[in-house]
Structure 1
Amino acid sequence: MYNSKITGLGSYVPENVVTNDDLKEFMETSDEWIQERTGIKERRWIDPGSGDTTAVMGAKASKIAMERAGLTKDDIDFIVFATLSPDLYFPGSGVLVQDLLEMPTIGALDIRNQCSGFIYAMSVADQFIKTGMYKNILVIGAENHSGGLERSTRGRNVTVIFGDGAGAAVLSRCEEAGKGILSSHLHSEGKHAKELVLEGPSTQRWVPEILENNDPDDVSYYPHMNGQFVFKHAITRFSEAIEEGLQANKLAKEDIDMLIPHQANLRIAQFIQKKFRLSDDQVFNNIMNYGNTTAASIIIALTEAWEQGKIKDNDLVVLAAFGSGFTWGSVIIRW
């Protein structure tokens, strides 16, 4: 059995910066109110004239990751694309990246696990490599939230949080024992599905019904989040996922060199940091600059941490996420 190792990282965010003060143009809010609750100072939203989409951003991040891995498009055997905001209802964005990058007719799989999407995607890619089926897999997390947010005071509790962006990792076969992905751990609890949800349009409320109702007060077309409920579950499940990963590898919290949590809320990350008694140098957060980019958040943060020299050879890197579904999980990596 082989191991899988990250050999290339890349990220891309839109040029359009939206500050907390910018949001005051269409909702009642303030920089102080947003930072106090989320830690976010600004986020990136796609400029409609830029040509960026979920797949386009994913392709841009992928080019950087492949170049850093020393690979070409012809070296990639498979694509795993995580997103909750695909360009189209169907097909998924993975096949669009295959076309944008002019790749051979390799397989492309889309992962729909929202904030935990990149964790799930890494786990899936890891299994394909461990079994020997593939050698180099492109794992992408990308989101275009801005086009589907309710830009009003009514929607501010959700709208102020989310941003657009993409990241990509090349996962490659590794025969060195004890290196690369050591383990991954995945969980779900569907009874809480509607605590963080986008209900429509869906196959439960198909297009004819939407057109017939045409109700301007219908908020089901926008994301809904029960903030306090989600927060309380997040801090519990984050901790469980990290502890599970450490125990599976006979490691202790003192062994963690870098924790990259999903960038959902700075307060959650700070709670987890305090619980595990980690220093500021052992946790990487960038939510203040990008907001919550859902499936893209961990890979953007991982890329930036590596670019800044905060992750070194042989470091123990822990990735952890919690989000809609509810889904949560962790990936334990020996760099």
Structure 2
Amino acid sequence: MYSSKITGLGYYVPENVVTNDDLTQWMETSDEWIQERTGIKERRWIDPKTEDTTAVMGAKAARIAIERAGLTKDDIDFIIFATLSPDMYFPGGGVQIQDMLDMPTIGALDVRNQCSGFIYSLSVADQFIKTGMYKNILVIGAENHSGGLEKSTRGRGVTVIFGDGAGAAVLSRTEEKGKGILSSHLHSEGKHAKELALIGPSTNRWVPEIIEANDPEDASYFPHMNGQFVFKHAVVRFSEAIIEGLTANGLQKDDIDMLIPHQANLRIAQFIQKKFELSNDKVYNNIMRYGNTTAASIIIALTEAWEEGKIKEDDLVVLAAFGSGFTWGSVVIRW
């Protein structure tokens, strides 16, 4: 049985910085109001004048990850692309990456698990490698939220939270015992799907309905979130996923060297940190600078933590996410 380990990391965020004060031109809000509820100070939004899209950002992050892995594009056997905001309704971003990076005709898989997208994608990649099917898999999380947010007072509860960006990891085969991904744990609870969702456009509310309705009061075409409901579930599921991962590997909370939580809300991350009695140097957060980048958030944070020397050889790294679906999960890694 093979194991898989992360051999390359990279991320890309747009240059355009949108501060909390900037948002006041579109909605009734304030820096104090946003920071108090989310911990966010600024986020990156794509400048429409640039070439950036979800796939373009993913490709930029991927090139960095592949180079850092000491590989070339021709060494990659498979692509997994996680996003809730693809450039097109179909096809998905995976095939765009294959084209943009001028890769051989390898397979490309798209994962639509929103905030848990990178966790799910990493788990799938790990299984492909452990079975011996592939040797090097490119895993990408990328999001263009700004193109679909309701930039008004009505939409501020969602709009102030989300940012754009992309991250990528190369997962490679290893025969080292006890290294790399130790386990992954995935869950869902669809009865709460509409508590954090984008209802339309969809095949239930398609182009004819959009044209016929033409109703400026219809908010169904923008993301909806029941914030308090999501928060209450998140703190429970985050904890469960982390404990499940530790238990599966005979580990304790004191064994964690670095926890990278999905960057949904700084208050959620702080709650989890306190519950697990982790010091500040054992939890990495960057939501203050980037907002919630959904499928990209964990991989961007993981890359930054590694670049800053906060993750070292043999460290126990735990990744955990919760989001729309509801879906949640964790991945336990021996670096």
Matches within 5 A, 1:302-321: 302-321=302-321
Residue 135 of structure 1 corresponds to: 135
Corresponding residue for 1:197?
197
Partners of 1:210 and 1:49 in 2: how far apart?
27
The amino acid that maps onto 1:258 is: M
Secondary structure at 2:155's aligned position in 1? helix
2:73 matches 1:73 = yes
Q: Which residue of 1 aligns with 2:44?
A: 44
SS at match of 1:183: strand
Aligned residue for 2:243, secondary structure, equals helix
Runs of 4+ in 1 over 6 A off after TM superposition: none
Alignment of 1:134-213 (within 5 A): 134-213=134-213
Please report how far the alpha carbon of residue 206 of structure 1 lies from its aligned counterpart in structure 2 after TM superposition: 1.2
Deviations 1:62-99 (A, max 9, x none): 00000000000000000000000000000000000100
Please state how far the C-alpha of 1:209 moved relative to its aligned partner: 1.1
Q: What is the distance in 1 between the residues matched to 2:319 and 2:204? A: 34
Q: What's the Cα RMSD here?
A: 0.3
- Matched residue, 1:17: 17
Match of residue 92 from structure 1? 92
Does residue 1:122 correspond to 2:122, yes or no? yes
Alpha-carbon shift at residue 327 of structure 1 (Å): 0.1
> CA separation in 2, counterparts of 1:209 and 1:299?
37
The C-alpha deviation readout for 1:105-152, integer Å capped at 9, x for no partner, is 000000000000000000000000000000000000000000100000
Distance 1:237 1:12 in 2: 29
Find the counterpart in structure 2 of residue 293 from structure 1: 293
Q: Give the match for residue 266 of structure 1.
A: 266
Structure 2 match to 1:241? 241
TM-score between the two structures when normalised by the length of structure 1: 1.00
Counterparts of 1:259 and 1:50, CA distance in 2: 34
Matched residue SS, 1:154 = coil
* Whole-angstrom CA distance in 2 between matches of 1:276 and 1:264: 18
Which segments of 5 or more consecutive residues in structure 2 lack a partner in the other structure? Answer: none
Deviation at 1:210, TM superposition (A): 1.0
CA distance in 2, matches of 1:272, 1:260: 11
For 2:13, the aligned partner's letter is: V
Q: Which amino acid letter does the alignment assign opposite residue 117 of structure 2?
A: G
**TM-superposed deviation, 1:34:** 0.2
**CA–CA distance in structure 2, aligned partners of residues 197 and 267 of structure 1:** 21
Question: Which residue in the other structure is 2:108 paired with?
Answer: 108
- Tell me which residue corresponds to 1:227: 227
The residue identity in structure 1 corresponding to 2:43 is R
Distance 2:31 2:159 in 1: 14
Determine the C-alpha separation between the residues in 2 that align with 1:290 and 1:213: 35
Q: In 1, distance between residues paired with 2:49 and 2:120? A: 32
Return the offset for 1:2. Answer: 0.3
Q: Cα distance, 1:33 vs. partner?
A: 0.3
Distance 2:178 2:261 in 1: 23
What residue number does 1:82 align with? 82
- Structure 2 counterpart of 1:11, which letter? Y
